């Protein structure tokens, strides 16, 4: 059995990758166990030196790696290169800060008491295709710097990216087994989770995938972190800078052809400024050029797979049947989907209820700011949100009321190595990035010395 890597713009088969047999998988697990025994004893300085070299390899090859991303999943080349650079920056961040983040913590007691952080073993990661380098390295860099090893099951359509990451780790001098990409099929997932060497599971993906993997992690009593779906609210209040909000709204929804969990999907605007925002937003979406991701002047490539394009097309058709008004776009050819904007969406519409993973923006009209917060929270997802208002004090208090893991004010919603990232409700649990992220897969061991 094989996985096929297919260029989403041309539909040409780029490469075919064999799936591991169970015997080959067991060899990978054994190698991880051997590697962990020695890797956990290495100094932070040794790990940091290798991680810095790994980051430099990514930067030196960013054009080639960015092209690989574009060919495998379709994002425009400049975005692919930027993703490689951001991934390298995350590796440098943890190389520079891991030792400080994991220092011993002492407590104020009559006796000596402290907590130390020990690595657990292997972290098993199931990662998606939409950011094939960033999603991997935002978990792998802290896990490896902490003394863990890792096993990666990447999405079948970006196995070339997975292999490139593994090769870069080996080139940087990391021992075999510290980072391994494993081509396995869904029925083999439980055997990896159940393996003795595996002590942590991290998944970025759909709500359905997260539910299944979290259940297996619970069955085998393994720590897990789940970063799942999102339908982020982008709230525009009466006193917002409407021009700037519309500009950032376009970027927030259409970056990576709208294929991101953490990007605005529900644009909730108060009635007083709804027409002005809708008009400006429509103009900016209409100006975007969709097409060959390798060409200059193209703002958006194709969706990553044909089935994803077909699903989004179906969601759009149903949304319009349920009363939404099409303002811009709506056409599809293969994986190519026009940047699309719909208005007059209510809470019962499919475009509100479901995550739309692609370049489909949805405007929802609210009576006032309190109604806007109610609409934002009226959803099973709680990954991130944005509020647009000139009143920073009001924004702070409204942000405290939003049910989400991250809230941005007058800014593009994004992830940052320095800031904890994750969601609530059906968007998952646990946190990545920052000091919190590196501690997720550590044993916090308390020492009490009389």
Q: Indicate the Cα dihedral angle 42, 415, 83, 294, nearest 10°.
A: 170
Instruction: Identify which of 228, 239, 298 has the alpha carbon closest to the alpha carbon of residue 262.
Output: 228
Q: What are the C-alpha distances in Å from 125 to residues 189, 210, 404, 435?
A: 10, 12, 24, 19
> Catalytic residue at 91?
no
Q: Spot the catalytic one: 72, 83, 92, 227.
A: 227
Extract the runs of DSSP E, i.e. beta strands, from 367-422. 381-382, 384-388, 406-409
Q: Spot the catalytic one: 261, 263, 355, 440.
A: 261
By the 8 A CB rule, do 156 and 15 touch?
no
> Catalytic residue at 64?
no
Per-residue tokens: 179: 């980072």
By the 8 A CB rule, do 301 and 257 touch?
yes
Residues in the chain: 450
Per-residue tokens: 17: 């990758």
How far is it, in rounded angstroms, from Cα 47 to Cα 144? 8
Residue 165: strand, helix, or coil:
helix
By the 8 A CB rule, do 316 and 360 touch?
yes
How far is it, in rounded angstroms, from Cα 56 to Cα 89? 10
Dihedral sign of CA atoms 422, 425, 427, 430 in order: positive
Q: DSSP secondary structure string, 332-371?
A: EETTEE--EEEE---TTSHHHHS---SSEEEEEEESSHHH
Instruction: Identify which of 233, 167, 258, 166 has the alpha carbon closest to the alpha carbon of residue 385.
Output: 233
Which residues are tagged catalytic?
Answer: 227, 261
């Amino acid at each position: 059995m094989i996985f096929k890597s297919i260029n989403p713009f041309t539909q040409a088969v780029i490469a075919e990758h064999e799936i591991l047999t169970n015997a080959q998988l067991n060899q990978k697990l054994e190698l991880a166990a051997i590697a962990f025994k020695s890797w956990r004893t290495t100094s932070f300085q040794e790990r940091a030196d290798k991680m810095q070299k790994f980051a430099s390899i990514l930067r030196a090859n960013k054009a080639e790696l960015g092209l690989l991303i574009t060919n495998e999943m379709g994002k425009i080349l400049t975005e692919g290169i930027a993703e490689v650079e951001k991934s390298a920056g995350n590796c440098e961040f943890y190389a520079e800060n891991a030792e400080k983040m994991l220092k011993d913590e002492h407590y104020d007691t009559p006796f000596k008491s402290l907590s130390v952080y020990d690595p657990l073993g292997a972290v098993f990661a199931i990662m998606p295709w939409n950011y094939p380098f960033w999603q991997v390295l935002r978990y792998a860099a802290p896990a490896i710097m902490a003394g863990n090893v890792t096993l990666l099951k990447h999405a079948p359509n970006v196995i070339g990216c997975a292999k490139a990451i593994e090769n870069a780790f080996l080139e940087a001098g990391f021992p075999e087994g510290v980072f391994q990409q494993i081509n396995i099929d869904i029925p083999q997932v439980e055997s990896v989770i159940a393996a003795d060497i595996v002590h942590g599971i991290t998944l970025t993906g759909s709500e359905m995938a997260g539910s299944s993997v979290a259940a297996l992690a619970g069955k085998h009593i393994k720590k897990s972190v789940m970063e799942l779906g999102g339908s982020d609210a982008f709230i525009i209040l009466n006193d917002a800078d409407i021009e700037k909000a519309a500009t950032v709204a376009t970027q927030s929804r259409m970056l990576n052809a709208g294929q991101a969990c953490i990007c605005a999907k529900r644009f909730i605007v108060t009635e007083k400024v709804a027409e002005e925002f809708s008009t400006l937003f429509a103009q900016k979406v209409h100006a975007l050029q969709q097409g060959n991701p390798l060409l200059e002047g193209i703002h958006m490539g194709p969706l990553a797979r044909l089935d994803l394009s077909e699903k989004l097309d179906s969601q759009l058709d149903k949304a319009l049947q349920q009363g939404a008004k099409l303002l811009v776009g709506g056409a599809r050819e293969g994986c190519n989907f026009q940047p699309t904007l719909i208005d007059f969406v209510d809470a019962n519409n499919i475009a509100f209820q479901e995550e739309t993973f692609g370049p489909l923006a949805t405007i929802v009209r609210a009576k006032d700011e309190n109604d806007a917060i109610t609409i934002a929270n009226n959803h099973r997802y709680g990954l991130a949100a944005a509020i647009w208002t000139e009143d920073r004090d009001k924004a702070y208090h409204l942000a405290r009321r939003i049910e989400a893991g991250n809230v941005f004010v007058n800014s593009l919603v994004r992830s940052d190595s320095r800031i904890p990232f994750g969601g609530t409700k059906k968007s998952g649990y646990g946190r990545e990035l920052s000091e919190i992220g590196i501690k997720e897969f550590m044993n916090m061991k308390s020492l009490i010395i009389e």
